[in-house]
Structure 1
Amino acid sequence: MGSEQGTDQRGGPELDPTRPHPARRYNYWLGGKDNFQADRDAGDAIAGVFPHIRTAARENRAFMQRAVRHLAREAGIRQFLDIGTGLPTADNVHDVAQGIAPESRIVYVDNDPLVLSHARALLTSSDEGATAYIDADVREPRKILADPAVRDTLDWSRPIALQLVAIMHFVEDHEDPYGIVSQLVSALPAGSYLVLSHATFDPLDPETIAAMNAINEGIKPRFSPRTLAEVTPFFNGLELLDPGIVSVSDWRPEPGPRPTAAEATGYGAVARIP
């Protein structure tokens, strides 16, 4: 086993099984077992008005894996900062990256205590590479960037891929989502990359949107899907890779049939930081 940086448990929130959490709800939609009844109830409520939610979850994860694969193979990226990691499943970032380049180094960031309790599965690394996990919220970019595990695991003189996959739609407008992304991006070396996916209601019919908004009123953290015009500013000043900001299903897809934009309900893109 490769390097295992110490798991940071300072100030982590207590586990409350009575309140749904996005990471556990996502785990449920992906068919995982690391969730509670509150997560399943919330997940089922959303599935009741949007039956394609499990497809959307799978497509989002597949986008992440394709993006990591591209960056590792084609762009030579060997370092990944994955914020909003979620619960460990098959083919996590380090599995994909180190499968291509064993020397890859990965730092995972999440704020769910259950993810923290399973972090050891995320800390499995090749002998040549390294992995680390810290407990932090994307709304705390300064804390993330200053964390010793982040500073020590990653070489900040070399390019880093910042992964914000299905996380920024849990940051509301008043919490300055664009400022958060800008602060994280501006800290990265030139030649780094931003990988971002974001939920959207753009392709949905008005009835489904109304039903989703009604459910959203009772969800914490509040879910903030954004339009293409609202997702685009996350990439301001960056060099978008082809095919740009598209449905996650349409970003450099594998051959064969794939879900429609209305089934995937998410935008995804990869951009280079000049």
Structure 2
Amino acid sequence: MARPSWAPAEVDIDTPSIARVYDYWIGGTHNFPVDRELAERVSAGNPELVRTLRANRAFLRRSVRELSRLGVRQFLDIGSGIPAEGNVHDVALAAHPASTVVYVDIDPVAVAHGRAILADEPRAAVFQGDLYRPEQILSAPETEALIDFDRPVALLLAAVLHFVPDGDDPLKLIRQYTDRLAPGSYLVLSHAGADRVPQAAPQAAENYRSAVSQVIWRSTEELTALFAGHELLAPGVVRAPLWRPEPGEQPDADLPMLAGVAVKAAG
């Protein structure tokens, strides 16, 4: 296909990218026919997949809006994917023009698209980084330019930790980030899971693993444990659509995505 003007020169538009597949699943426009073909094939066996991922993105937007209301002006989004329309910087900047957002993703395709999207936005940046290397992320030039760790920060780990197995100690990994955050900072987590894994989920995980890595399903209790050292905001850890839905919204309460937001208390 002909290369559209918005496509970064360094990305291959004829080979599917999991970042663009995800973008398509959540209703984005930064994807190509080859991505959409793979997306349809993967999601065909699990009709809940797309609804679940969109519910996760809706939760992320609601959490950013709520934290902005609480006075947070700095957001560090790790595992962000492509920061397309309606993402964290759109919500945060709409709430307060002094907000700053740093996106981090390990996928170079997501980063390339992100840089093109954010080229004219000095209050947001994106760079390639590995969740498993906290110090490199926290000390990156983009982070240091936009994040002041002496003030509250919202650390966003949305749909990321379900790729971190228990053997890699996800709580220890989280603490390598949160130990650097000032009191009054917030931890935002969403995670594939439910107290009972839906029947379709294993096949969905198998399909997704072929493109990324195996999804680890965790229960409400297990995800709650990852907020250790923080105080959960109401309603606690719940299915993502049930976390502070918009007035008049009819949340799809059965989707297998858990979510919660917690504050780092003084001391």
Indicate the TM-score class for this superposition, using the shorter chain for normalisation. Answer: 0.7 to 0.9
Counterparts of residues 184-263 of structure 1 (less than 5 Å): 184-205=177-198, 207-215=199-207, 218-262=210-254
Structure 1: distance between partners of 2:46 and 2:227: 28
Structure 1: distance between partners of 2:176 and 2:148: 18
Structure 2: distance between partners of 1:66 and 1:173: 28
Match of 1:270 in 2: 261
Structure 2: distance between partners of 1:105 and 1:209: 36
Residue 114 of structure 1 pairs with residue 109 of structure 2: yes
Aligned-partner SS, 2:167: helix
Structure 1: distance between partners of 2:101 and 2:264: 19
Q: Cα–Cα, structure 1 residues 159 and 20, in superposed 2: closer, same or farther, change >3 Å? A: same
Counterparts of residues 74-93 of structure 1 (less than 5 Å): 75-93=70-88
Match of 1:103 in 2: 98
| Residue number among 65, 70, 73 corresponding to 1:69 in the alignment | 65
226-235 or 76-85, which deviates more: 226-235
Structure 2 stretches lacking a partner, 5+ long: 1-10
Aligned-partner SS, 2:59: helix
Count of residues in correspondence between the two structures = 255
Native 8 Å contact 1:124 1:131 kept in 2? no
Identity %: 40
Match of 1:26 in 2: 22
185-194 or 43-52, which deviates more: 43-52
Give the Å deviation of 1:121.
Answer: 1.4
Q: Deviations 1:123-179 (Å, cap 9, x if unpaired)?
A: 543xxx722222102121121112122123211211111011111112223333222
Q: Cα–Cα, structure 1 residues 17 and 111, in superposed 2: closer, same or farther, change >3 Å? A: farther
Structure 1: distance between partners of 2:229 and 2:116: 36
Structure 1 stretches lacking a partner, 5+ long: 1-13
Query: What is the TM-score normalised by the length of structure 1?
Result: 0.83
Match of 2:49 in 1: 53
| Residue number among 89, 98, 118 corresponding to 1:94 in the alignment | 89
Give the Å deviation of 1:117.
Answer: 1.5
RCO (CA 8 Å, sep 6+): is it higher in 1 or 2?
A: 1
Native 8 Å contact 1:139 1:171 kept in 2? no
The RMSD of aligned alpha carbons is 2.5
Counterparts of residues 99-178 of structure 1 (less than 5 Å): 99-118=94-113, 119-125=115-121, 130-178=123-171
Q: Cα–Cα, structure 1 residues 226 and 122, in superposed 2: closer, same or farther, change >3 Å? A: farther
Give the Å deviation of 1:190.
Answer: 0.9
Native 8 Å contact 2:194 2:258 kept in 1? no
Structure 1: distance between partners of 2:171 and 2:12: 29
Give the Å deviation of 1:203.
Answer: 4.5
93-102 or 224-233, which deviates more: 224-233
Q: Cα–Cα, structure 1 residues 147 and 79, in superposed 2: closer, same or farther, change >3 Å? A: same
Give the Å deviation of 1:31.
Answer: 3.0
